[in-house]
Structures are given as C-alpha cells and as structure tokens.
Amino acid sequence: MSQATADRIVETDVLVIGGGIAGPRAAIDAKRHGARVFMIVKGIYGSSGCSLSPSTANSTGPWTDLKKDSVDRQFRNIVIDSRQFMCDQELAKIQAQEGGERLVELERWGMVWDRDAQGKISIFPSGKLFPGMAVIDRWITFGRNGTHAVGPFWTGHGTVDILRDQVNREEIPFIDETIVSDVFVTDNAVTGALAYDYFNCKTLLIKCSAVVIASGDYAQVYYPHTMVSGENSGDGFALAYEAGTQLANMEMFEYIHLHFAYPDSARGKAVLETPSESGGMAYIRNSVGDRFMERYNPKAKELSPMADVALAILQEAKEGRGGPHGGAFLDFRHIPPSVVKRSVPGRFEVIEKLGFDIRKDLIEVYPAVHTTSGGIRINPECHTRVRGLFAAGQVAFAIGDSMVEGATGIVDALIWGKRAGEFAAAYSRSNKRLESNLADVQEKVRLMKVPLEAKSGIPPIKVMRRLQRAMWDGAGIVKSEQSLRKTLEVLEDIRKSMVDQMSTKTKTGIFNHEMREAIEVRHMLTTSEAIVRSSLTRKESRNRFHRSDYPRQDDEHWLRFVIAEKTREGMKITTEPIEFPYIKPGVSP
C-alpha cells in the first residue's frame, strides 16, 4: 500500500477500539493469547468514557450465600425478570456463570472490594433501596465507605485503574484522543481500520486481521438528556453496520427518572436514583404541589417502578402540571438535612453545589437516557457475522445493563471483553490478513478530510446539535409513528443537505476537536437511523420501550429481535423470533 494513504501506518494482529472496561480487558486477553495488540481510545485513556461511572458490580460469586442464591437463580433472574425473555439465553447463561470469576480475578489484580467488619465481601442492600428493581441482593462495591466528592461509590474508577495496571504490565501500545472512522472489509473479512488522531491531526491506518469494537453505548445522540459521557456517541454501532454486520434491538435503551432538569451540563446527573435513598422518602410533586404518584399507583406511590414514575412525570407535564423545564419536583423538606447528608454525602454535596437549599427549595427532576440494551449482534465468542469483527461491552448485544436488575455493566464488560480478546487472538492466529482495497482506503481518507479542507460551511457541532434535538423530540422516551417519521425526515435532511457541507473552523495542526465531531456526526447519523427505523418497526411497548400508539406489550407478535443491516438499497429492518433453549415463556419454573 502506498505511503500516501495515511500519515502513519500501524501493523498489528488485533485492534481494540475503546478504552473503558471491555476494551482493555479484551486487549489484555488478546495479548496473553499471543497476539500483537493495538488499542485506540477516543478520549484520554483512564480519564474518559462511561466506565468510570458505574457504582456497583452485580454478580453471584464466592460471596454468595448458596442457601439464598445461585448461578442458576441469577440466570433465571436475567432471562425472566430483567430481560423478560428478550435476550439470547446462551449469552445469558455465560453472563450468570462467568461474572463471579471475572470479579475474583479483578481482586487478584489488586481491586479492593468493600468488606464488612468480619472481613467478608459485603453485599450492598440494593433490594431495600430499590424495591421492585433489584431482583436480589448481589451487588458488590468499591469505595463505598470512603469519603468522596461526588457519586456514591467508585467501582467503575477502581476497575478502570486495575485494568490499566494490567495493560501497562503487558506493555500494550495504545493511542488516545484518536477516533476510528472506518473499518475495512474484504470478502467479508476485516483487513484494517482508518482513524484520525485529533491531538496531532494525523490520519492513522491500522492493518490488522481482527477488530474488537468496545466503544460503549450511543446515548450521546440524546444529548443533553443523557447521563453518559461525551465519548458515547455510538461510533461502534455505525462501524459495525458499515462493515456489514447486524445490529439487534437498537430501539431498546434504559433511562432513569430523577435527574437534574437543569442546567444543561448537570442534566443527566441523578439527584437520587430512588426516592428512598435519601434516608427518608423524598416526595415527588408536580407544579401544583400534588404528590401525583398517589393517583398513578396509590400503593407504591413514589416507589413505583422507575418506568412508571418517568412516564407519570412526562404525563403530568403534558397535562400542564410540569415544572419550567418540563419536569417534576423532588421534595426533601420533611427530611432533616443532616439525615440526607449522612445517607448520601456525595449527592448532598452536588445538590448544595448547585445552590439548592433542601430545607426550602424543591429540585426539578426529569428523566434522562442511561444506557443501551441493543447493539452489535455477537455469538458466545463475541464474533459477528463479519469474519474478524468482534464486539464486547455495551456496544454489543449481549445481556447489557438493565435497570431492573441493576449494576450489570461492569460485569458485562469484563465477561465479554475477556472473551472477545481471547477469541480475536485465536482468530488472528489462524487467519491470514488480507490487504485492504487501496481505492477504498484512499476514498475514505479523502472523505474524512473534506470538512478540514472546505474553506467554509457548517460547523460539525451545529449539525450534531440538530440531530440530537430531533432524536430527543421524536425518538425519546415516549414515541409514536408520527414523531418517529418526523425525526427520520430530519435525519434524511441532515444527510442530504448538511453532512457534505460540514467545515471545521479549526484548521490548525494540533488538537482539532472539530474533526472528531465531524466523524462523530457521520456515525451518529447511521446509529440514529437504526434506532428510529427499529423503533418504527416494533409495534408494541415493553420494558423501557414506549410507543404511545401501541401502549401494550404484545408477546404473541413481538417476542422477537428487530435487526438492522446494510443492503445496497439502504438500511433493511427485519425481525427474528427469539429462541428459548432453556426457559420457555409461560411455563412456570
């Protein structure tokens, strides 16, 4: 290949895209199975991405009291209670079996799980705090008892740090502040990838036989109505789709209800994750002061399932009883501040920092998107249908994080990250790498540089914000045929009239964040189209997916996966029945 294609060329066996938990975990295992590994991180490795944020890890393990709980029980919880049969049971089985192993391994590498006075790993009493949400108490934590500025615990931070230590011991090369724009495929096999190093403003061509996508979820397409970090723009979904593999259940995402409704930069930060967290029961009121949940669910009131509360908040606003930002109000006035402070010191600090006085102020809250349930279709070896293309973590359609069960994100990333690394190494050992198509590479490099070389045009951030607004307005928590069609029109308009007109105002040779945004916009468009078209296809409501025109769960017709894939005619959506190899719906256990 000619030197003129990219500024820098890297040859390796396995390319890992993503530097959170699944990515580094994959890199470690690929290296230990004898492969050369190169890791690309879009933010700064160790200081960016959503992997820093999870507060707990949820799995059975050596800490499990076998009289009360077991791997089999966890498997049933995942399939029946949490996923309600909307999952691949083979993958659920692995999720239940391997979680404990991965968390013990993390401890061997230096993770310090919180322990009780007897020195036993202590289990976080999630069942008490989140009634109807946690299926059973099996959450373990890191940093629960320490004093910390913000956020309850530091389990995500701890995990990222411990993995970074292992990456360092294995001397795995990586580059950060670099975004992958394309994955190259020849004869349905991966041949390499193209990336842009926006810190140095250089193009980077990676020649490799296997790619592990571990780039996290897509919730940035809903900015600012999301709690995820800036990196989670859904690049991985678009890369996989363009490479020719399938995306499953893209319409499914999770959300949380009690986030700050303003200012924008604090939107998506949970005031509380459950009203009972604050020591006493915090009330949720509408703008006329009613505790409106008494009407929606007289028994459980504020402690109704999270989805019900979120929908009630939106309904109150729709009927004219919402706050100035369309939300509801959290009321702590009847709980002594000292109790709140003792119960959730981190959250109390955040509330005070924003200038709220909980003795007299009500705090406006609004739902925000939390994480993705659907994603890149994989088999138990994390392999997609494109040879050499693997996926792990939130970007993959494995079990994913679920608010019903809670706190499965870290475990999910560790399990599938390890598997992806191991099987990607095995694949690259037994398959010779093909060359990327030169014309294809040159075309992609040219396309990437268009916004940089254009003298004038639309700044990428403007295009991104238009997309994000359209996505929240028409494909947010509650959607309908009409709202989805409208969003689809905006997406098509952006693709037709804005994407090719993008121009970065930054033309310097150092730190061109606008080039990153320009590449993200292209990825977000593809990912968003998959979300909207999948949402249009699923004509029912279930779990956290709500269609106002099809409000009922319809197991008879819709216990199916919705699949998006690329064809010559554009995006094709199909549905596929789910297989039930172990537990069948409707059969009592």
Give the binding site for other proteins (CB under 8 A): 43-50, 52-53, 61-63, 104, 107-111, 113, 121, 149-151, 156-157, 161-162, 164-165, 168-169, 176, 199, 229-231, 260, 262-266, 268-269, 350, 353-355, 459-462, 465, 504-506, 508-511, 513-514
Minimum Å gap between C-beta 53 and other proteins is 6
Minimum Å gap between C-beta 542 and other proteins is 30
Closer Cβ to other proteins, 85 or 262, answer by number: 262
Closer Cβ to other proteins, 156 or 234, answer by number: 156
Minimum Å gap between C-beta 112 and other proteins is 9
For residues 150 and 227, what is the distance between their CA atoms, to the nearest angstrom? Answer: 14
Closer Cβ to other proteins, 82 or 229, answer by number: 229
Minimum Å gap between C-beta 541 and other proteins is 29
Closer Cβ to other proteins, 232 or 535, answer by number: 232
Minimum Å gap between C-beta 54 and other proteins is 10
Minimum Å gap between C-beta 507 and other proteins is 8
150: helix, strand or coil: coil
Residues 6+ apart with CB under 8 A from 180: 17, 40, 42, 193, 194, 195, 215, 235, 239
For residues 460 and 246, what is the distance between their CA atoms, to the nearest angstrom? Answer: 28
Minimum Å gap between C-beta 284 and other proteins is 20
Instruction: Provide DSSP, 188-245.
Output: TEEEEEEEEETTTTEEEEEE-SEEEE-----GGGGTTSB-S-TT-S-HHHHHHHHHT-
Strands 283-285 and 328-331: antiparallel
For residues 205 and 403, what is the distance between their CA atoms, to the nearest angstrom? Answer: 39
Closer Cβ to other proteins, 229 or 428, answer by number: 229
For residues 383 and 391, what is the distance between their CA atoms, to the nearest angstrom? Answer: 7
Strands 247-248 and 560-567: antiparallel
Closer Cβ to other proteins, 125 or 173, answer by number: 173
Helix 409-430 vs helix 22-32: angle between axes, to the nearest 10 degrees? 40
Which DSSP state fits 432? P
Among 266, 237, 267, smallest CA distance to 252 is for: 237
Minimum Å gap between C-beta 48 and other proteins is 4
